[in-house]
């Protein structure tokens, strides 16, 4: 799994590894979150998280579980995923709750549903690659890529998402880890990040076979 803040470089990371023939890459199903029978719950959540946070995160949990359970293509021996059902719950649901934008009953229902899934369904993970990026860098990148839903995301929101990642993956004080963590500093430009991926490539792939 790759994890990190919004605009931390996850897509670039996965693009690099997708060029290897035996690696299957699964990106976040963002297109589904943008279009549910003509509705855009992702955009609605950013505009009014108190009203739409539960709606979006219920669907995120479903679609991420579907990603985890999709059989790997026969030609691949390694699968890499952008985020996971774990980061959806431990980062984004948690942020909505802590910021007071998700009612306690919504949080309780999502948590109970998540606990049932992870208790009753096997979701094996070999490694979490954490692209550790400063909130300011992420904010600058958001401005450059100009995605419609992201225009309303303030730096404060990225600060909160960053801290939740740090608590979970670095300090390891908030939630259990489903796998070991490899940290890659990701504040660099595209070329330097390519070098970082090259340096860590064998280590990342080897972790999938241990």
Binding residues: 4-12, 141-145
Candidate list 82, 112, 149, 198, residue with the active-site label = 82
Take residue 49 and report the two structure tokens written for it: 């998280």
Q: Residue 115, SS3?
A: helix
> How many C-beta atoms surround the C-beta of residue 179 within 10 A?
15
82 is catalytic: yes
- Tell me the binding residues for ATP: 4-12, 141-145
d(CA 106, CA 109): 5
For residues 88 and 113, the answer to whether their CB atoms sit within 8 Å is: no
Residue carrying structure tokens 């959806």? 88
User: Both ends of the chain: CA-CA distance in Å?
Assistant: 15
Q: Which residues are identified as catalytic?
A: 82
């Amino acid at each position: 799994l790759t994890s990190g803040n919004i605009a931390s470089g996850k897509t670039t990371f996965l693009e690099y590894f997708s060029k290897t023939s035996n690696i299957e890459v699964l990106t976040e199903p963002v297109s589904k979150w943008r279009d549910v029978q003509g509705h855009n719950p992702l955009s609605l959540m950013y505009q009014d998280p108190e009203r739409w946070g539960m709606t979006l995160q219920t669907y995120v949990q479903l679609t991420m579980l579907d990603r985890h359970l999709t059989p790997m293509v026969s030609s691949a021996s390694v699968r890499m995923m952008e985020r996971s059902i774990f980061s959806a719950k431990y980062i984004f649901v948690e942020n909505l709750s802590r910021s007071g934008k998700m009612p306690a009953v919504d949080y309780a229902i999502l948590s109970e549903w998540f606990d049932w899934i992870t208790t009753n369904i096997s979701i094996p993970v070999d490694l979490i690659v954490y692209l550790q990026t400063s909130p300011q860098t992420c904010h600058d990148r958001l401005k450059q890529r100009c995605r419609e839903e992201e225009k309303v995301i303030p730096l404060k929101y990225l600060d909160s998402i960053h801290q939740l990642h740090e608590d979970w993956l670095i300090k390891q004080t908030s939630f259990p880890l489903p796998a070991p963590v490899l940290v890659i500093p990701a504040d660099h430009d595209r070329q330097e990040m390519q070098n970082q991926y090259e340096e860590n490539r064998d280590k990342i792939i080897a972790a999938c076979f241990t």
